[in-house]
Amino acid sequence: MARVVFIGVGDVELTRRVVSALVLGAGLRGELEIVLHDDDPGKLVTTERLVRAIDAEAGSEAKIRSVFDRRQALRGADFVVSHLDIGGFEATLRDFEIPHRYGLRQTIGDTIGIGGIFRGLRTIPVLVELARQMADECPDAWLLSCSDPMAMTGWAVHEATGYERFAGLCHAVCDTHAYLADLVGRDEDEVSFLSAGLNHQSFVLRFEAGGRSLYPELDAVLEADPQLRRHVRAELYRTFGYFPTQSSEHAAEYVPWIMRHPDETARLGVPVEEYLRRVGKSLHLYEETRRALSAGHPLLIRWQHQEPAAAMILAMLTGEEKEIYVNVANRGLIGNLPEGCCVEVPAVVGAAGARPRAVGDLPVQLAALNRTFLNVVELTVRAALDGDRSHVYHAAMLDPNTAATLALPAIKALCDELIEAHGDLLPPAVRA
């Protein structure tokens, strides 16, 4: 029996998608144990009800239990699916409201930017501790992290713990592949893709069918549709020559040319403070799920693009090999990005585990964009692991959007105010 442990179950939709795929997996009836853990007892009760309802609807006869003690939950795990949101809505609100008073505009703020830096500072210590606990309680288990900021947390886990069975998993690459195939009127199975880079800043390096590039067909589609051209992704594609895998909202924050200019955010349709609306929607969805459970409505998702965490677990359990994009330590995988940073590349996943694929050097302009991103990532990792408050300032000063908007004294004052506001959620040495 395979034991799958969920650490952090507040995102009921993510849990619903992953569990639905698992309980529908071929040949797994009666072969799954699902263990749920969260620090919030109310969320734990709701999610256990959700998982039991999905299991009953699928008839999969999984063994399901909730465990409030995390070490006990981890004991004997084969897979650990982690989704951490340290500080929850209140911390996210601070990440937006305080910078807003300084005139710093954000849209998502979960991966880079001032919001990404402070989310990283909150999340890194918790995920590192989780990996250390897994080394004690379930050393052969896979840690499948669905937590942002992935480039920061993945680098920190590998460096601080050496835990090798780690993969950060995000649906952005597979969603982009499906989107591009649809734009040029192809079935996704017809198209050969290769993407690589950093989580939330990878690029589609190969987009082909029958050995021929489909980029000229994409150019024709964009040329014929002015609305499609008015997206950040399209703007970056036209500028750098390769289509980015992340949404326009995310992509706008990773460069210095957009968020500080109201005319540019208007031209490119970038919604300022979009993430607060998404968090509000997630809170509403949680309440909707509770009502659906009380009313006995069906909640099993039968038709879906598999969530990467579920796809990875199923490939390992069934032995049916599958290509899945993973975020792992750069051990010769991308030649012109720093060794040891956390990169996003395809991997062949099956019964033997995950074999990340080396993709060689990125086009030089893409590697340069990634290295700009990695400056912020590395400094945040150093701040968290070394307990060096000065690196919090350095990360913010080198962040493209923050640096383009604020002078150095304002950046330092903003960081000091956020450190004070987040308090005990941050590493103690950073607060000193």
Distances (CA, A) of 138 to 82, 127, 131, 143, 409: 14, 15, 10, 10, 47
Q: Does residue 171 have an active-site annotation?
A: yes
Residue 37 CA to residue 137 CA, distance in Å, equals 15
Task: Pull the structure tokens for residue 334.
Answer: 């991308």
Task: Pull the structure tokens for residue 6.
Answer: 């969920």
Residue bearing tokens 């005139």: 103
Q: What is the 3-state secondary structure (H, E, C) of 93-151?
A: HHHHHHHHHCCCCCCCCCCCHHHHHHHHHHHHHHHHHHHHHHHHHCCCCEEEECCCCHH
How many of the other CB atoms lie within 10 Å of CB of 89? 14
Note the helical H segments in 241-363: 248-253, 262-267, 274-295, 308-318
How many of the other CB atoms lie within 10 Å of CB of 102? 16
The single-letter code of the amino acid at 282 is: S
Task: Pull the structure tokens for residue 362.
Answer: 């990125």
Residues 6+ apart with CB under 8 A from 432: 387, 389
Which residue from 110, 121, 115 is spatially nearest to 149, judged by alpha carbons? 110
**Beta strand pairing call for 192-198 and 201-209:** antiparallel
**Could you tell me if 234 and 270 are in contact, meaning their C-beta atoms sit under 8 angstroms apart?**
no
Q: Which of 37, 171, 177, 394 is the catalytic position?
A: 171
Instruction: Tell me phi and psi for residue 197, to 5 degrees.
Output: 145, -130
Distances (CA, A) of 239 to 75, 118, 289, 366, 369: 50, 30, 43, 11, 12
- The distance of Cα 380 from the centroid of its chain, to the nearest Å, equals 17
Catalytically active residues are: 171
